[in-house]
């Protein structure tokens, strides 16, 4: 039986229209939360039960963040949980051939977007006075180097230090900040790593060989880890990251 341990809480999931985002949105809604699925591609729809609300958000725009937080304060009573999930990855670019514009785009979405989300969520949670939780989406490449994915590695490494500094800053307000580090997950973003001529099956089989468990994480695996870190029951957990990758980088 699924517990309603997020009943009465307002949860924002950025990148809610993507592969991981959809799984995270569904997981929170199934556990009683009102979920704001925030995405550039959001339609503005509200689910029949009112539990999922789509809102447009450009994570790189401070004005867009402020408008979203104002909406939540006005219509729902304020934010309780933020999941900074929106991200970008353009793979297979040798380090020395990385265009500056592409490097900057990765940092704008993956790093600046997380900073802005943390900043404005902490401000609103502080004012609300009920604590709260923020879960940032890092990556296995936050702590391992891929020379053909340098912009992603660098921007996701920044997510980890943003998580730690935000946790130190927000703890006095009862706000917890943690991160999940997904490994390979079969989503559209992962499939963009295929080499020319490589089939989907061959690529996924190759990725599975990197996991001691011999399997890839699923979007639902990632969502479950996000739920754990956001759960009010885990009120002593802050400033940490959890790799979810089948044991590929335990303890790294």
State the CB neighbour count (10 A cutoff) for residue 200.
10
* Residue recorded with tokens 């199934």: 30
**Across the chain, where does the E strand assignment appear?**
10-14, 34-39, 52-56, 81-84, 132-137, 175-182, 241-244
- Give SS3 for 10: strand
State the CB neighbour count (10 A cutoff) for residue 80.
25
Cβ 68 vs Cβ 12: under 8 Å: yes
Residue 229 to residue 238: CA distance in whole angstroms:
8
Using alpha carbons, list the distances in angstroms from residue 114 to 47, 184, 214, 243. 26, 21, 31, 18
Residue 107 to residue 109: CA distance in whole angstroms:
6
Active-site residue identified among 71, 89, 152, 210: 152
Residue 157 to residue 252: CA distance in whole angstroms:
13
Residue 45 backbone dihedrals phi, psi, to 5 degrees:
-70, 160
Instruction: Identify whether 71 is a catalytic site residue.
Output: no
Residue 145 to residue 226: CA distance in whole angstroms:
24
DSSP code for 172: G
- The residues, any chain, with a CB within 8 Å of residue 195's CB and separated by 6 or more, are 92, 203
Catalytic residues: 152
């Amino acid at each position: 039986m699924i517990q309603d341990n997020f009943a009465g809480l307002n949860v924002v999931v950025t990148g809610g229209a993507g592969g991981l985002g959809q799984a995270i949105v569904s997981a929170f809604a199934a556990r009683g939360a009102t979920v704001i699925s925030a995405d550039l591609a959001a339609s503005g729809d509200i689910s029949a039960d009112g539990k999922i609300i789509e809102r447009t958000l450009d994570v790189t725009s401070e004005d867009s963040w402020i408008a979203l937080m104002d909406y939540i304060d006005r219509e729902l009573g304020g934010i309780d949980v933020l999941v900074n999930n929106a991200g970008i990855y353009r793979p297979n670019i040798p380090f020395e051939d990385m265009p500056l514009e592409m490097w900057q785009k990765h940092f704008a979405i993956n790093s600046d977007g997380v900073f802005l989300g943390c900043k404005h969520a902490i401000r609103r949670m502080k004012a609300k006075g009920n604590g709260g939780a923020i879960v940032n989406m890092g990556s296995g490449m936050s702590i391992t180097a891929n020379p053909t994915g340098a912009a992603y590695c660098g921007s996701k490494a920044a997510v980890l230090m943003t998580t730690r500094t935000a946790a130190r800053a927000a703890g006095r307000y009862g706000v917890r900040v943690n991160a999940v580090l997904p490994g390979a997950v079969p989503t559209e973003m992962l499939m963009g790593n295929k080499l020319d001529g490589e089939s989907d099956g061959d690529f996924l089989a190759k990725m599975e060989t990197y996991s001691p468990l011999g399997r890839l994480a699923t979007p639902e695996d990632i969502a479950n880890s996000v739920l754990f870190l956001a759960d009010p029951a885990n009120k002593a957990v802050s400033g940490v990251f959890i790799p979810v990758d089948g044991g590929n980088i335990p303890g790294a």
